Amino acid sequence: MAQVKRIRRNVSGIILLDKPLGFTSNAALQKVRWLLNAEKAGHTGSLDPLATGVLPLCFGEATKFSQYLLDSDKGYETVMQMGQTTTTADAEGEVLQTREVTVGRADIEAVIPRFRGEIRQVPPMYSALKRDGQPLYKLARAGEVVEREARSVTIGRLELLECEGTRARLSVGCSKGTYIRTLVEDIGEALGCGAYVAELRRTQAGPFALAQTVTLEELEQAHAEGGNEALDRFLMPSDSGLQDWPLVCLSEHSAFYWLHGQAVRAPDAPQFGMVRVQDHNARFIGIGEVSEDGRIAPRRLIRSE
């Protein structure tokens, strides 16, 4: 008997998942997509299987704006295990070296100011960055080590929350592209004892905080009780991740031409930059960019939501 193809739903919005331990970001996305029965889905940057916390999942029209969440600042809490280094710079790797830990709270407090502000990081081999089309982690698993160019990242917040024995809990606020594993590893080297990430929890992604998230168990429970449509109440609007952008409202006439690809003027537009755009019914219809002549050029459009 031929298998009946599943007809997926055309739903749009963002679900803020508290990613569970042991899931890849893509595995978590595909699980929620199945529960929602969504036609189109994407996430906003990978979290390691070891990591938990804020993972915005985009569905339908919201996938058009996932890149802007990917580019946003992030917040983390991490547990730094001192005294050892590992192949992956986290608890999942093999131990490379063990050293005595003779440092305490005062030593950590003295070192961490060096890592605030703009710093340079060498991306880890166990990362999704690609070299000649191959992810670095695949090369690492094959025993290869290739040279990686250091990149500039910004650490806006780095605070010691707790310190007990050989473990320390840190709070980090950072720019996109920051590797917490590399940060912890570098702090460990500065302390002279080595360190790796024992725990990692993302507490913020752009405008989204941990308190706004829903767990996979809650989504599964809602699905068991009410099916696919029961998950719709967890969907946030597609422009939820752009709330700090200037908002421009177009008249019915202007919105018509804007949605057909033409730049238009609006009395409330800023002088320059990217903007969120609504029509005369206060419906989000896309994002635009204000040009030098004051007109708003469409960049990504939503025709219906």
**From 48, 90, 239, 279, active-site residue:** 48
Which residues make Cβ contacts (< 8 Å) with residue 111, sequence separation at least 6?
Answer: 187, 190, 191
Distance from C-alpha of 175 to C-alpha of 182, rounded to nearest angstrom: 14
Please state, in angstroms and rounded to a whole number, the distance separating the CA atoms of residues 47 and 78. 13
Measured distance CA(112)–CA(67) in Å, rounded: 31
Q: Using alpha carbons, list the distances in angstroms from residue 81 to 46, 127, 170, 219.
A: 23, 20, 11, 33
Say whether 73 is catalytic.
no
Amino acid at 57: L
Measure the CA dihedral 300/240/177/84, to 10°.
-150
How many other CB atoms sit within 10 Å of the CB of residue 181?
A: 26
Q: Which secondary structure element, helix H or strand E, spans residue 80, and what is its range?
A: strand 74-82
- Is the Cβ–Cβ distance between 208 and 56 less than 8 Å? yes
Relative orientation angle of helices 25-36 and 216-226, to the nearest 10 degrees: 20
- Show which residues are catalytic: 48
